[in-house]
């Protein structure tokens, strides 16, 4: 009896990464790690699986879909195997790197502060799959924990700038705001006592980069649908006018701050927020971060509820539809989810790796499909032992070399296969070469041929192959 064939499908919302993408992605990741280490960020990794209350903080309002974990045996769900603690407090796949970091910090209170870390890996969200939206995606995060000064926030902005410059990204704009300034606005609007309502107003402001002001203004006037609807914005014409004035402030950074201050100077927290932004302004100018690579944008609110101070978003000016590719902010209260009476301020940023890759990938002409630089053809299998020896000597001097193990027997067939995969060089060692103690290397793109003495080949091969592979994104590690 033949077993039924299983469909080779990934679950909906998940995907494979192919070599032509991985080669480039590894290169980006390498640069991210490199710049992070230059800034003194240290690598850590947390598990993909966390306890659900760690992730949600018992917040019934959190609009996120998580994967709950139960245990199966031999393909059959076996609920008896579920740990008792898992029944009370299910396990779930992490949805970001920030909450697990706060958990990590709380579990290791003795770590010397400030603690600076970077992390890379998959996060998971149970979203309805749609074009370009996945349930598993990668994020690269940097965070500074235990530094309350706004200097740390300025360093985060400076990091974003250095990373994007190192990645040769042009035309990006870092948009900076401060939750305290928005809270100041809420103060002046007189809505601070109802945080649900404040949240809804900020959520609408966050949509201003996509929707015209008129639509948002209408929604800001929205009255409660019924008696139980406490969080409707329900703002008056005067309140909405104030918001319009506030979110439409234009000008250079100092002028933006001056105008904002004049609108919210009755709020203590708002003034504190303006002061922090003014310090960031001063740092960024001293650091000579180009004035056209960042600006204050008072409509940036950031979705996640845990931000408490400066917040950042980064857009690509020539690809605004990709949204923010590098975002973050200060979250001074998140560690307090886990510990009493200890205040551990923190700030950081996260690059949406897939979105960012998609954005820069869309301008790419030709992608490298393999890291292989040279393929050894095999025409006479009795010479395989010797071919294997030559290959080993090439590999040891750093040439990415593949021996052709497939079914094509002819030289032409093997060359077609190498060309199809984008391998730029092939090598030939047949009976003639054996007799002459030589090996032949062909440049497939230029149709050039090199005949080398066998004993010298491993010395000469580098100068033939490397110049052609110098600027190849696939060469991650030089």
Residue placing its CB nearer to a second copy in the complex, 8 or 467: 8
Shortest distance, CB of residue 311 to a second copy, whole angstroms?
Answer: 19
3-state SS of 391-453 is HHHHHHCCCCEEECCCCCCCHHHHHHHHHHHCCCEEEECCHHHHHHCEEEEEECCCCEEEEEE
- According to DSSP, residue 57 is labeled T
Please give the structure tokens belonging to residue 214.
């008129």
Please tell me the distance from the alpha carbon of residue 204 to that of residue 201, in angstroms, as a whole number.
5
- The DSSP code sequence of 355-369 is HHHHHHHTT------
Maximum alpha-carbon separation in the chain: 95
| Residue 184 host element (H or E) | helix 179-189
Residue placing its CB nearer to a second copy in the complex, 270 or 424: 424
Beta-strand ranges (E) seen in 126-281 are 136-145, 172-178
Residue placing its CB nearer to a second copy in the complex, 221 or 358: 358
| Residue 347, helix vs strand vs coil | strand
Stretch of residues binding a second copy (CB under 8 A), selected from 299-307, 308-316, 365-373, 462-470: 365-373
Residue placing its CB nearer to a second copy in the complex, 221 or 411: 411
Within positions 70 to 99, which residues make up the interface with a second copy, using CB under 8 A?
Answer: 70-77, 81, 83, 85-86, 90-93
Residue placing its CB nearer to a second copy in the complex, 259 or 393: 393
Within positions 9 to 68, which residues make up the interface with a second copy, using CB under 8 A?
Answer: 9-12, 14-19, 22-23, 26, 30, 33-34, 37-68
- The DSSP code sequence of 109-169 is TTS-SSEEEEEEEEEE--PPPBTTB-SEEEEEEEEEES--SHHHHHHHHHHHHHHHHHTT-
Please tell me the distance from the alpha carbon of residue 466 to that of residue 398, in angstroms, as a whole number.
9
Please tell me the distance from the alpha carbon of residue 332 to that of residue 112, in angstroms, as a whole number.
17
* Residue 291 in contact with a second copy, rule: CB under 8 A: no
Site mask for a second copy (CB under 8 A), range 246-285, x = bound: ------------------------------------xx--
Q: Are 306 and 98 in contact (CB under 8 A)?
A: yes
Residue placing its CB nearer to a second copy in the complex, 39 or 213: 39
Residue placing its CB nearer to a second copy in the complex, 104 or 246: 104
Q: Which of 99, 93, 7 is nearest to 47 (CA)?
A: 93
The one among 173, 221, 360, 403 contacting a second copy by CB under 8 A: 403
* Residue 1 in contact with a second copy, rule: CB under 8 A: no
Shortest distance, CB of residue 349 to a second copy, whole angstroms?
Answer: 15
Within positions 145 to 204, which residues make up the interface with a second copy, using CB under 8 A?
Answer: 146-147, 149, 151-152, 154-155, 158, 162
The one among 255, 319, 351, 370 contacting a second copy by CB under 8 A: 370
Within positions 373 to 402, which residues make up the interface with a second copy, using CB under 8 A?
Answer: 375, 384-386, 388-389, 392, 395, 398-402
Q: Which residues contact 470 (CB under 8 A, 6 or more apart)?
A: none
* Residue 444 in contact with a second copy, rule: CB under 8 A: no
Residue placing its CB nearer to a second copy in the complex, 209 or 333: 333
Q: Are 216 and 205 in contact (CB under 8 A)?
A: yes
* Residue 447 in contact with a second copy, rule: CB under 8 A: no
Within positions 316 to 345, which residues make up the interface with a second copy, using CB under 8 A?
Answer: 337-340
Stretch of residues binding a second copy (CB under 8 A), selected from 1-9, 209-217, 226-234, 317-325: 1-9
* Residue 409 in contact with a second copy, rule: CB under 8 A: no
Q: Which of 191, 180, 118, 184 is nearest to 307 (CA)?
A: 180
């Amino acid at each position: 009896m033949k077993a039924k064939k299983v469909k080779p499908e990934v679950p909906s919302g998940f995907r494979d990464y192919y070599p032509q993408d991985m080669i480039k992605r590894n290169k980006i990741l390498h640069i991210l790690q490199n710049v992070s280490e230059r800034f003194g960020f240290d690598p850590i990794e947390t598990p993909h699986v966390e306890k659900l209350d760690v992730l949600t903080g018992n917040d019934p309002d959190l609009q996120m879909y998580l994967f709950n974990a139960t245990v199966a045996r031999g393909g059959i769900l076996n609920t008896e195997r579920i740990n008792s603690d898992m029944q009370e407090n299910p396990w779930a796949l992490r949805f970001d790197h920030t909450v697990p970091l706060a958990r990590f910090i709380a579990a290791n209170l003795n770590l010397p502060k400030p603690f600076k870390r970077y992390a890379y890996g998959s996060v998971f969200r149970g979203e309805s799959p749609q074009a370009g939206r996945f349930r598993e995606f990668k994020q690269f995060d940097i965070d500074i924990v235990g530094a309350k000064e706004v200097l740390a926030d300025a360093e985060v902005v400076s990091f974003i700038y250095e990373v994007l410059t190192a990645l040769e990204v042009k035309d990006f704009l870092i948009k900076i705001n401060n939750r305290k300034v928005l809270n100041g606005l809420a103060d002046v609007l007189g809505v601070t006592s109802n945080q649900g309502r404040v949240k809804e107003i900020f959520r609408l402001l966050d949509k201003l980069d996509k929707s015209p002001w008129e639509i948002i203004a209408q929604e800001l006037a929205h009255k409660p649908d019924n008696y139980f609807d406490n969080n409707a914005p329900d703002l008056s014409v005067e309140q909405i006018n104030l918001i319009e004035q506030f979110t439409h402030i234009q000008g250079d950074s100092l002028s933006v701050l001056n105008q904002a201050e004049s609108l919210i100077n009755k709020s203590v927290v708002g003034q504190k927020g303006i002061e922090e932004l003014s310090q960031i302004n001063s740092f960024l100018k001293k650091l000579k971060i180009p004035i056209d690579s960042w600006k204050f944008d008072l409509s940036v609110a950031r979705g996640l509820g845990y931000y408490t101070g400066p917040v950042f978003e980064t857009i690509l000016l020539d690809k605004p539809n990709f949204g923010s590719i590098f975002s973050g902010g200060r979250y001074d209260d998140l560690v307090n989810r886990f510990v009493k009476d200890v205040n551990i301020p923190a700030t950081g940023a996260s690059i949406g790796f897939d979105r960012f890759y998609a954005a820069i990938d869309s301008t790419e002409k030709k992608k490298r499909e393999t890291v292989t630089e040279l393929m050894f053809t095999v025409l006479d299998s009795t010479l395989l032992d010797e071919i294997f020896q030559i290959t080993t000597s090439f590999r040891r001097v750093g040439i990415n070399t593949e021996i052709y193990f497939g079914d094509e027997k002819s030289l032409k067939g093997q060359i077609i296969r190498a060309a199809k995969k984008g391998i730029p060089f092939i090598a030939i060692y047949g009976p003639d070469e054996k007799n002459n103690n030589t090996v032949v290397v062909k440049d497939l793109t230029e149709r050039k041929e090199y005949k080398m003495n066998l004993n010298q080949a491993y010395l000469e091969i580098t100068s033939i192959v490397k110049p052609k592979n110098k600027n190849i994104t696939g060469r991650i590690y030089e």
